[in-house]
Structure 1
Amino acid sequence: MPKPMMYGCIFTFYCCCLALLAAAQVTDPSEVSALRDVRSSLDDPMKHLQNWSRGDPCVSNWPGVFCYDTVDLDGYLHVRDLHLLNMNLSGSLSPALGKLTLLQILDFMWNQISGEIPKEIGNIASLKLLLLNGNSLSGSLPDELGNLSNLTRLQFDENNISGPLPKSFANLSNLRHLHLNNNSISGQIPPELSNMSRLLHLLLDNNNLSGSLPREISYLPKLAILQLDNNNFDGSEIPATYGNLSTLSKLSLRNCSLVGQIPDLSRIQNLSYVDLSRNRLSGPIPSNKLSENATTINLSNNNLNGSIPSGFSDLPSLQKLSLANNTLTGSIPASLWQNITFIPNAKLTVDLQNNLLSTIAGQLNPPENVTLRLGGNPVCSNANVPNIAQFCISQTQGDEQLPNSTNSTCPVYSCPTDNNYEYVPVSPVPCFCAAPLRIGYRLKSPSVSYFPPYIDLFETYLTSSLKLERYQLSIDSFSWEVGPRLRMYLKIFPPVSNQLHYFNATEVQRIRRIYTSWDFPRTDLFGPYELLNFTLLGPYSSSVLPTQNSGISKGIIVAIVLAAVACAVSISALITFLIIRRSKGNQNSLSRKHLSSKISIKIEGVKAFTFRQMAQATNNFNSSSKVGQGGYGKVYKGILSDHAVVAIKRAEEGSLQGQREFLTEIKLLSRLHHRNLVSLVGYCDEEGEQMLVYEFMPNGTLRDWISGIW
């Protein structure tokens, strides 16, 4: 093959390789490097991130990495979400996270990561969800986090974070959820936080906050949940302006060393939950009636006096009224329980223990679903009150129970429970056996104290948000935890129309994304939630969820495939061309060799020359050696190794003769001898060539002489 053609082939192949490489490298290289730095700073004993060293993050299924499905103007894909929930990771958070500048969700929940929160996270201007709760992070909160103006949810709860709340958080103008509970944050709540005009949920309970409660909190126009339990606002009063928080659903200031009087909260129309217990509040309880949405009123363990206000009566949703351990006097109004119209499964606990209450105003005949506790009051010594003794003894709260929905008519061994299959409890198709998704879920600050009456409403809320039928959701169990927080385990079953009896990977990914992206509609009754785990068992255990929202867009995949196909086609075409060309050359060579094979008969006086000798004699058939051309071929002047000058007639391909013809011509020419004719010196029959070697006529040919040229 000529060198120019060879170089062209190499260049074409090189270009195709570059095209394939460009197609494979679709993620911004700086982000790929950042992800590898993040990986190197983490300990991964379960090897969840072992694929992070292979291929491209956006196309090679890096666990937890989710990318945008369109190419940016720079020609690359970028990382959109990082979901590393509950992977048993330890180590520390790398400052390289700050290089993921287009990230929207950063989720490291429920791991064992320690160290400080990198200030570089404050460089991710696009960040919307920052979820680091449930780790062992320490140190103070970086001021730089206040740069995250697009942040809507910040969850650092259940860590070891200390130091003050940064005033820079006032710049988080889009923040809706600030969850910093269960840390060691100290100092005063900055009044500047009132600038967070979109804030819905402020959870700072179980810290070391001190100082006074800032009245500026009452300026938050959308605040629905304020939970500051178990801090030490020693000597602080509850600002009366908190009664102006018109959107408030839950106010929980338990065990905060508060003093002064209870503000009037009757103007808050949606207030469901009030817990001001375990403080040093004094004075009478405001007499104005609270919202009819009230489920919980806990004013126990204070220094309250006066009588029980009539405003606590006729609250249709009330589940718990606790006024225990105060110095209340007067009578106990039976209207607290007599006028309530209970919804199904509802219960009411009225705890008035350890006060100075002396009489009952009305009939002491509470319904069975009312628990009345009167121990430690003078009324328990009043013999004139019938049946009083049963309400004065120590009572325990019964456990909350789920309704029994097990279908006991189904065959016991017909559903392969060893592979995570089970009967769908309320399936419209009897004994429908399927594999559920198992989800650990917790309500962080619900506005209810007793859950069973709200199970139906909760299931409707979840299934409508997930676009599922009601029967597809089953609450396997639930329990109250310190907070109070409500932990539950959910099972989500495939529909009865699903012939596989389990979800496909796309549907699993869709459901998981709704949970991990907090796409559920807002509900203040159930409050903020947190995903504890999303467990894949049985037929899901070996499945690998796609790392994209809906995968990289089809256009990008098609582009990558087309690039690869185009390259493959180009290479194939190039190889085919070379093979054909070489084959054609071989055929020509074979043809020439077939037409001109070596002559085995020796002819006296005629020498057999090699092709190499002919090439050397003519300087590789250089054009300067050419002395003539005819229909047979070209004639070259040549100098042999013995310095003899000869004329070499080289046949063109179209003039090649057959073996017999070429042999016959050589024999005839060898017999011709005349003083006016040039003699045949020899021939060449190699490399598919047919050449005749004559004596060289220095003054031209016979034709030239006859024509009078010389």
Structure 2
Amino acid sequence: MLLLLSVFTKILHTTHSITFPGDIQILKDLKNGLDPNSITPGSCLSSWDFSVDPCDHLFTNRFTCGFRCDRLVSGFSRVTEITLDPTGYTGSLASTGWTLPYLQTLDLSENSFHGPIPGSLSNLTGLNRLCLSMNSLTGPVPGSLGSLSLLEELYLDNNFLVGPIPFSFNGLVGLKRLELQQNNLSGEVPDLGKLKNLYYLDLSDNRLSGEVPATLPTSLVELSLRNNTLFGKLPNSLGGLVILQVLDLSYNELNGRVRSFLFDHPSLEQLTLSHNRFSSLEVVNNEGVNSKLIALDLSYNELRGLLPAFMGSMTELSALSLEHNKFTGMIPSQYAVKAARPGHGTSPFERLLLGGNYLFGPIPGPLLGLKEGSVNVSLVDNCLYRCPDMFFFCQGADQKSMQDCKSFGPYIP
């Protein structure tokens, strides 16, 4: 009987969870580094009571949530995930030692952490997901983060970070998703061509300059460089992103031609190039019948010439905005048919915005039968003098004056 009791006691001892002491200290440092007033009663962090073993008391009233432990080392459990609930914790991340080699996920997003991103986060060599978005972090992005070779997701968006994107990020060869939007980052977009697994890249709403990179990962599915100060022409390399579905380069200073391969792309569904300085369009040879585009926005540029008729032949296109450019001529009949009565297998226009150009001539017949609310069409601020307010697509703004229209093009009747 004593022998059985001894064996049972030994089994209990070997299965008992003992948190690695260094991991406990990191958890203590994290909690102690926060403003106590930001730790609300009932939150995950408020339940952390270090009078007992953390990993052995997960999901009890002592440690209700906030991290996960795995038994990775003989005799010890190691912390593999820290995820704080978004309740407005405030404090500095620099007060924590960050020596957790088995940590796989660190998610401190949607709080009020301030100060710099500590370079010691590079000690988290097992990390595959780092999320610090929607805080108040300042200072530069540490180049040492480029050494986290197992990292798959990196979220530093919606902070106040400054300086360049580190060139060392090209070493994050396992990275699949990179979000740095809504900061004050500057300098050129670095070469990220070695990131063969990167499918999502968002660098929008920063102060990045230079040209659109000529070398981009061919694995990209979504690319957003919106609202920066990028200039120059579109690189040919964009045509090599053969699985790209979403491209947003709006609110920059890009110029030159909008390339034809964007209208005949094998997978591109959303293309937004608005608020730039593009002056012309390249026409595709096959009238765009192979295009996968669903939404196309070229508004607020300096595009000239006749409206491209081929856009009315794109079978999937349902949202087209060409407003506030310098297009002239008559509205192509293809546009009107696609908005009013498209053929079988063709998506109708749900949005057709052509205002703010120099279009003239009669309103195409199919548009005259449209009922208000059936489709979003706008033809305001053009030279369409036979566009009375009785038609909903003529409401909201006047047509240009005769003087403005004649000064733009004397051939406008």
TM range (shorter): 0.7 to 0.9
CA 342–178 in structure 1, closer or farther in 2 if over 3 Å, else same: farther
Residue aligning to 1:45: 39
Residue aligning to 1:31: 23
SS of structure 1 residue aligned to 2:303 = strand
Structure 2 residue aligned with 1:364, among 358, 362, 367?
367
1:393 aligns with 2:389: no
**Cα distance in 1 for residues equivalent to 2:97 and 2:283:** 51
CA 117–207 in structure 1, closer or farther in 2 if over 3 Å, else same: same
Structure 2 residue aligned with 1:226, among 223, 228, 239?
223
C-alpha contact 2:368 2:391 (8 A) present in aligned 1 = no
Name which structure has the greater RCO, CA cutoff 8 Å, separation 6+: 1
Residue aligning to 1:99: 99
1:117 aligns with 2:117: yes
CA 215–82 in structure 1, closer or farther in 2 if over 3 Å, else same: same
Offset at residue 304 of structure 1 (A):
0.3
Offset at residue 309 of structure 1 (A):
1.6
Residue aligning to 2:302: 303
Number of residues paired by the alignment?
A: 370
Offset at residue 53 of structure 1 (A):
2.9
Residue aligning to 2:248: 252
Residue aligning to 2:356: 354
**Cα distance in 2 for residues equivalent to 1:152 and 1:366:** 53
CA 97–346 in structure 1, closer or farther in 2 if over 3 Å, else same: farther
**Cα distance in 2 for residues equivalent to 1:266 and 1:352:** 19
CA 342–386 in structure 1, closer or farther in 2 if over 3 Å, else same: farther
C-alpha contact 1:186 1:207 (8 A) present in aligned 2 = yes
Offset at residue 99 of structure 1 (A):
1.1
C-alpha contact 1:285 1:305 (8 A) present in aligned 2 = no
CA 18–34 in structure 1, closer or farther in 2 if over 3 Å, else same: farther
Offset at residue 96 of structure 1 (A):
3.6
**1:237 counterpart letter in structure 2:** K
1:83 aligns with 2:75: no
1:596-607 alignment runs, 5 A limit: none
C-alpha contact 1:27 1:56 (8 A) present in aligned 2 = yes
CA RMSD of aligned residues (A): 2.7
**Cα distance in 1 for residues equivalent to 2:370 and 2:243:** 33
CA 290–243 in structure 1, closer or farther in 2 if over 3 Å, else same: farther
SS of structure 2 residue aligned to 1:274 = strand
Residue aligning to 2:69: 67
Determine which structure has more spread, i.e. the larger CA radius of gyration. Answer: 1
Offset at residue 39 of structure 1 (A):
1.2
**1:78 counterpart letter in structure 2:** R
Deviations 1:411-440 (A, max 9, x none): xxxxxxxxxxxxxxxxxxxxxxxxxxxxxx
SS of structure 2 residue aligned to 1:39 = helix
C-alpha contact 2:265 2:291 (8 A) present in aligned 1 = no
**1:236 counterpart letter in structure 2:** G
Residue aligning to 1:57: 54
CA 323–364 in structure 1, closer or farther in 2 if over 3 Å, else same: same
C-alpha contact 2:178 2:202 (8 A) present in aligned 1 = yes
C-alpha contact 2:259 2:281 (8 A) present in aligned 1 = no
**Unaligned residue ranges in structure 2 (runs of 5+):** 1-7, 398-413
Residue aligning to 1:453: none
**Cα distance in 2 for residues equivalent to 1:119 and 1:197:** 25
SS of structure 2 residue aligned to 1:37 = helix
Residue aligning to 1:592: none
Residue aligning to 1:136: 136
**Cα distance in 2 for residues equivalent to 1:195 and 1:391:** 49
Residue aligning to 2:236: 240
CA 311–244 in structure 1, closer or farther in 2 if over 3 Å, else same: farther
1:214 aligns with 2:213: yes
Deviations 1:650-708 (A, max 9, x none): xxxxxxxxxxxxxxxxxxxxxxxxxxxxxxxxxxxxxxxxxxxxxxxxxxxxxxxxxxx
CA 273–305 in structure 1, closer or farther in 2 if over 3 Å, else same: same
**Cα distance in 2 for residues equivalent to 1:74 and 1:327:** 72
Offset at residue 58 of structure 1 (A):
1.2
Residue aligning to 1:147: 147
Offset at residue 120 of structure 1 (A):
1.1
Offset at residue 316 of structure 1 (A):
4.2
Offset at residue 25 of structure 1 (A):
5.5
C-alpha contact 1:246 1:267 (8 A) present in aligned 2 = no
Q: Which moved more, 1:269-278 or 1:385-394?
A: 385-394
